[in-house]
Structure 1
Amino acid sequence: MNYWADLHIHSKYSIATSKDCCPEHLELWARRKGLTVIGTGDFTHPGWREELREKLIPTGDGLWRLKPEYRLETGVEIPGAPEVHFIISGEISLIYKKNGRTRKVHHLLLLPGLDEAERLAGRLEKIGNIAADGRPILGLDSQALLEMTLETCAEAIFIPAHIWTPHFSLFGANSGFDAIEECFEDLTPEITALETGLSSDPAMNWRLSALDRFLLVSNSDAHSPANLGREANLFATGLSYLAIRKALTPPGEGFLGTVEFFPEEGKYHWDGHRACGIRWAPAQTRQHQGRCPVCGRKVTTGVLHRVEALADRAPGEKPAGARNYERLVPLVQVIAAAEGVGEKTKKAERIYWKLLQNYGPELVVLREAPLDEILRSAGPLTTEGIRRVRQGLLEINPGFDGEYGQVRIFREEERQAYLGQAALFAFAMDGEENRRSGPDYLGLPTVKKGEEKKEEQAAGLPSLNPEQRRAVTAGAPQVLVVAGPGTGKTRTLVHRVEFLLEKGADPAEITCVTFTRKATAEMRERLQRLLSPVYGARKAGAIR
């Protein structure tokens, strides 16, 4: 079976996490997101282990389920919501000296049960305080932790976490290593997977040939239930700990790929100095010798800069065996940006729940639900927002020095243009009767620049793609086409006029309206070129 798994999360016992990071709320949000397996997080904390024993039951295959009496209802029925399983997981922060430098590295550990977690925690508490934070900080070498973990549980899965984060990671610019062998020495072969982190994606990691032998996983590192699934892994295995472990061991049979943050949105993608408002691409940092022009201090070297420093491949090269990945934006963020409202407003929540109720969990809505169906539930702005996310048509001001990047799906003038286009049609969007009597809803794919004039013909419809042909020949009295720039809207409209004239429509009863002088001139030119040889000259002007 195919299923999504988010293996790196945190509990309410970790610093700076939501009080709702408890089993019942994590399970609830996993259903909403479409996650079949989620990590428990923080297995080293004694209070959290006690709560997990109270609220979870083992499935007998190394995974766990929430006890029925703790299950929370979503409020609406979500078709296709998975039955959620937990896998015992935790993150450990290490600070130690090696090869003359202070190292700060985080690691993600997965275990087949709470008994194994109890034994490992018992050994770790002799080294440092594991009760102060769900993600404990220990003065222990990474190699020593790996050895201790495997001695305690030979079936443990040990994954270096968010490997590029500047301050706490395997390759971090401030305290990391230049090679994985420098970190783990003779135990390096025990490492089979690496976590890319929010500020990098697989393509960035492909630039290092030394990483080709590792599977690249992605997880949310969520500090609140709502952030589950912002990154996740797609498996095609049975639901068991050993099946997941096998899939995360090369050749990785059953590990299909990941969904990712847009890495520019991550907190450390670019370089910079937040206190002084300095945000730089790597080339700018090199130009300024890494110094902030405001205060003179060193700027924080971001993930992209660090990748470029260690890379031995050009961007765009994909190694053999590399998994596919997709980049997404959380659904409520898409809705809020598209509609021009806050993420916690009633409008955003209403659209969010309607989409989940009609089409399934977030990952289904964002990746799979047909756009013409989404349009019926969410309207043109959210539908276009989802289309742009799927195609990567976003503007992102990259994150830097601990500040998340800012994603813009619409410019305000674009959003207003879509509102204006949609306002030309008066129709109700709820109820089967209204749907039957309303307009046809259509979406157009992007057309490559320059293809329209090259392909446009004086008669017939051979130059149209299937979506454009549907719009041209639709029989409904109203046809609402939702499409972005470069999708051939003007060409489709001109051919629609031709189609109506061929069906016997009176030319004097056809009015084409557009919103700018430039668009008016373009429409006039196309109408004359396509229709004048048969139907004579038509008048085109501007309404002021």
Structure 2
Amino acid sequence: HDRVRKVHNVVFAPHFDAAEKIRSKLGDIGNLCADGRPILGLDTHDLLEIVLESDPLSYLIPAHIWTPWFSMLGSKGGFNSMEDCFGDLTQHVFALETGLSSDPLMNWRLSQLDRCVLVSNGDAHSPQKIGREATIYDTEFSYPAIYDALRNPQTNKGLVGTLEFFPEEGKYHYDGCRHCSQRLHPKETIKLKGKCPGCGKDITVGVMARVEELADHEEGRKSPNWRPYYSLIPLPEIIANAKGMGVNSKAVQSEYQNLLSKAGNEMAILFDLPLDEIEKASNSLIAEGVRRVREGNVNIAAGYDGEYGTINIFTDEERQAKTVHQEQMTLF
């Protein structure tokens, strides 16, 4: 290749014997004990070949495929196509992970991805972030069943859909330079000829611009293997926005635990629980926040260059008016 590319991949093995075969071969290439995510100097094609040779049911999913660094199609360290990345083994890659900064609608704009199903995963940085995104299955809870749901989407309907971040909230949706606090729409990047107006260094090109660069369809098109997806904002963030406080503040965490104890698990509250029951368990402002998230009626200053997007479900005026109203109601 013309330069070094860096791609994160997730490897799946059906049993420990297959996992040991993979571990043994990769251990000859690099130190697997140095990090939870080993950094190895080998082609993605060769990694996939090692995985496929371990067992017929072993497979590989490219992770967060649009992140500027460390991804299959990223603007900084990626390729322009799946074929460039995996060569003659491309047909063995049948699922792609969208990452926080893109959603299925964005990925459906590329016909080169049509063959693959889309999955969404949380990350393991902390326990509360594991379920920020998720893949929904309606199948037996076993490795072969999940494999078949991903491998054969035309005949197996076990893959139901995905739970997604609003992509604007992801750390790399817009272009920008975090050192200079420059959040830039891709059109602004073009006007600036790719240089930060603050420091003059290269702007980090985000996911939105990269999708636009590689897309061969307009927005709104669905791929042949499309599945529904549901955009969400984690419940603690909704509570924090309603209260005008930080998500890790004691008041927000206390209200979060209160809601869980009275109304059930977080996914049920976000998607299924009637709004009047949420209001009874908490208050009208939080119930209204859940309603707006369900309808996609939120304002987000898009994330850029490693900085998360900023969510605004309520204006300061709305928050103040609701708070005053609730205080008045408690007097009667």
TM-score w.r.t. length of structure 2 = 0.96
Q: Identify which of 185, 202, 207 aligns with 1:303.
A: 207
- The aligned residue for residue 414 of structure 1 is 318
User: 1:321 and 1:151, CA in 2 relative to 1: closer, same or farther beyond 3 A?
Assistant: closer
Per-residue deviation, 1:221? 2.1
8 Å contact from structure 1 (residues 393, 409) kept in 2: yes
Q: Distance in 1 between matches of 2:163 and 2:183?
A: 26
- What is the correspondence of 1:74-153 to structure 2 with a 5 Å cutoff? 98=1, 100-153=2-55
Q: Identify which of 71, 89, 107 aligns with 1:169.
A: 71
Q: Distance in 1 between matches of 2:224 and 2:89?
A: 25
- Residues 1:275 and 2:171 aligned together: no
- The aligned residue for residue 57 of structure 2 is 155
8 Å contact from structure 2 (residues 110, 215) kept in 1: yes
- What is the correspondence of 1:358-437 to structure 2 with a 5 Å cutoff? 358-426=262-330
Opposite residue 112 of structure 1, the aligned amino acid is P
Per-residue deviation, 1:352? 1.4
CA deviations on 1:76-133 (whole Å, 9 max, x unpaired) are xxxxxxxxxxxxxxxxxxxxxx2x1211111011222334323311211110111110
Opposite residue 122 of structure 2, the aligned amino acid is S
CA deviations on 1:272-294 (whole Å, 9 max, x unpaired) are 11111211011111111111122
Per-residue deviation, 1:377? 0.7
Per-residue deviation, 1:388? 1.1
Per-residue deviation, 1:357? 2.0
3-state SS of paired residue (1:108): strand
- The aligned residue for residue 53 of structure 1 is none
- The aligned residue for residue 113 of structure 2 is 211
Q: Identify which of 281, 289, 302 aligns with 2:193.
A: 289
CA deviations on 1:448-494 (whole Å, 9 max, x unpaired) are xxxxxxxxxxxxxxxxxxxxxxxxxxxxxx9xxxxxxxxxxxxxxxx
Q: Distance in 2 between matches of 1:422 and 1:368?
A: 25
Opposite residue 384 of structure 1, the aligned amino acid is E
Q: Identify which of 227, 230, 234 aligns with 1:326.
A: 230
Opposite residue 342 of structure 1, the aligned amino acid is G
Opposite residue 140 of structure 2, the aligned amino acid is G
8 Å contact from structure 2 (residues 115, 225) kept in 1: no
- The aligned residue for residue 168 of structure 2 is 264
Q: Distance in 1 between matches of 2:55 and 2:224?
A: 32
- What is the correspondence of 1:159-198 to structure 2 with a 5 Å cutoff? 159-198=61-100
Percentage identity across aligned positions?
51
Structure 2: 5+ residue stretches without partners? none
Q: Distance in 2 between matches of 1:231 and 1:323?
A: 15
Per-residue deviation, 1:385? 1.1
Q: Identify which of 249, 253, 267 aligns with 2:151.
A: 249
8 Å contact from structure 2 (residues 117, 225) kept in 1: no
Q: Distance in 1 between matches of 2:225 and 2:93?
A: 18
3-state SS of paired residue (2:85): helix
Q: Distance in 1 between matches of 2:103 and 2:249?
A: 31
Q: Distance in 1 between matches of 2:8 and 2:58?
A: 16
User: 1:167 and 1:351, CA in 2 relative to 1: closer, same or farther beyond 3 A?
Assistant: same
8 Å contact from structure 2 (residues 19, 54) kept in 1: no
Opposite residue 324 of structure 2, the aligned amino acid is G
Q: Distance in 2 between matches of 1:321 and 1:188?
A: 17
TM-score w.r.t. length of structure 1 = 0.59
Q: Distance in 2 between matches of 1:416 and 1:314?
A: 41
Per-residue deviation, 1:250? 3.0
Opposite residue 203 of structure 1, the aligned amino acid is L
Q: Identify which of 250, 258, 261 aligns with 1:354.
A: 258
More contact order relative to length (CA 8 Å, sep ≥ 6): 2
Per-residue deviation, 1:174? 1.1
Opposite residue 297 of structure 1, the aligned amino acid is K
3-state SS of paired residue (1:423): helix
8 Å contact from structure 1 (residues 161, 169) kept in 2: yes
- Residues 1:339 and 2:243 aligned together: yes
8 Å contact from structure 1 (residues 214, 250) kept in 2: no
CA deviations on 1:395-420 (whole Å, 9 max, x unpaired) are 11111111111111111111011112
Structure 1: 5+ residue stretches without partners? 1-97, 428-477, 479-544
8 Å contact from structure 1 (residues 167, 175) kept in 2: yes
Q: Distance in 1 between matches of 2:126 and 2:62?
A: 22
3-state SS of paired residue (1:248): helix
User: Structure 1 segments of 4 or more deviating over 4 A?
Assistant: none
Q: How many residues align?
A: 330
8 Å contact from structure 1 (residues 351, 377) kept in 2: no
Aligned Cα root-mean-square deviation (Å): 1.5
The structure with the larger Rg is 1
- Residues 1:201 and 2:103 aligned together: yes
Higher mean alpha-carbon deviation, 417-426 vs 382-391, is at 417-426
CA deviations on 1:11-64 (whole Å, 9 max, x unpaired) are xxxxxxxxxxxxxxxxxxxxxxxxxxxxxxxxxxxxxxxxxxxxxxxxxxxxxx
